Copies of this chain bind each other. A is one copy, B any other.
């Protein structure tokens, strides 16, 4: 076929994908081509705008490194990540709500024992975190894997600063499904905005901030892995998270405690500190 015009080209591209062996890939490509072409027709995209889009996407790809994922940032700021999250977690049935993975997860965080400090030699207000992992039926899940990662007091993740892992670890729950660790209070922070996604936020007068939170990824045999955050109650960005990730059920009070008090693990505290406790519910595997 020849002489494609703006009306017949979409169906022709779809037909060209007609021999795709994987039916799911074929479905996805047909829908992608349909919606992408509709977008271009709707806005009557100019050649110069197309060139700008090619340049933007190229810069976005080239900004990516082992420790920087600019396409995830783009997906996050366009609400795509949270939409995908919502679609894939329609029926919680009492399980803890989910939110974005974000671009800072690292697979090989150190495995630490119950009660360890994930932020040794790191400035910040001490934070004692604890909770219980249960199934949605209320059964405590022993030996569940609790992976946690968070930013430092200045809003940076370890991978943004140096090759040394810090402020991240994985724990195993005890026989009662409990986990506990020491860390420092995270702060609200801007997503990295020195790349194309930052330029997009600037051009659209959007701020790049996320409210303070700890990331959790929790997995246990025969249960769906849970990817979520615990947000710090009272943060000024809870209603305008740059990545649309906040859910009320994930906000927890990070209780302030005075110097001279004793922590739950018996540690006598010589400066002010915080604590929170959050219990997570995991859904059984389908």
Contact = CB atoms under 8 A, between A and B. Distances in A.
Nearest to A33: B78
Interface string A7-21: 001101100110111
7 nearest A-B pairs in the assembled complex, by CB-CB distance:
A61-B61, A13-B79, A35-B39, A19-B205, A6-B86, A20-B204, A2-B246
Contacts of A33: 78-79
A78 to B, nearest CB: 6
A53 to B, nearest CB: 8
A250 to B, nearest CB: 9
A31 B179 CA distance: 45
Contact of A38 (B9, B27, B35): B35
Given A2-B238, A69-B58, A86-B4, A203 B25 contact: yes
Interface of A is mostly: helix
A261 interface: no
A253 interface: no
Interface residues of A, number: 77
B6 A28 contact: no
A6 to B, nearest CB: 4
Interface stretch (A42-50, A150-158, A169-177, A269-277): A42-50
Nearest to A79: B13
A37 B49 CA distance: 21
